[in-house]
Amino acid sequence: MEQPRNALKRAHAEGRTQIGLWCGITDPCVAELLAGSGFDVLVFDTEHAPNDVRSVLALLQAVSAYPVHPVVRLVSGTTAVIKQYLDLGVQTLIVPMVETVAQAQDLVAATRYPPRGTRGVAVATTRAARFTRIPRYLERADGEISLWVQVESVKGLGNLEAIAQVEGVDGVFFGPADLAASMGLTGQLDDHPLVHEALLRGISTVRATGKGVGTLTLDRARGRVYLERGATFMAMGVDMTLLARAAAELAAAFAPRG
């Protein structure tokens, strides 16, 4: 059995922008439906959506037959959490609330096997190794792991260039909601001019390091601006928002009702 290739990592190396959808719905049928919709990437959220290791396993299985790359945004960057999702076969992780170089270095270590890192070693019980069916998995796994750190605070922005330059960090993903809150603009997103400008500066800073960079937006026009300024990985919307809006629009089309 062949070692799966990391499509997002390959795309960045080849200079191809990747467009994704942020996913908070935990149902595998929905994930499979979305996997055939034409996105390059689906981001399964475990920080703010009711996902856990078992539900993400089902999501991965549901999309495995489709040409879409699954990414998981973790609930935290602890070594134990990282180990669990890597063992599931997740090859690209987004880790929230990264603010320092030391944090980024610890995260890199947690995604690598010893002696280069601190990832726990197992193959017989791990889907990532296809339960020992991938030859030399332990030797080859590190090369297919992609770590994206989520910078979403004023402190993180202050350390942005140094964080992006950490060896083993493949990209920086900006979190607009927490960034806005950190700027004293709780409840705002990138529709606020100050947040939007901070994201544009951040994208330019990361691109100058040669690393991947992206963010999440609910606005198509702003998404195109980020892409024009050099974003390489954009999440263009949220599955829950798409469903809620479509349902509300359909209901409104038949209102008022007696």
Torsion 137-142-146-148 (CA) sign = positive
Pick the closest to residue 74 from 113, 117, 103 (CA basis).
Answer: 103
Alpha carbons 68 and 7: distance in angstroms, whole number: 8
From the list 12, 48, 69, 192, the catalytic residue is 48
Q: Are 173 and 41 in contact (CB under 8 A)?
A: no
Mark whether 196 is an active-site residue: no
Alpha carbons 167 and 58: distance in angstroms, whole number: 32
Pick the closest to residue 148 from 213, 203, 90, 223 (CA basis).
Answer: 213
Alpha carbons 58 and 214: distance in angstroms, whole number: 26
Active site residues: 48
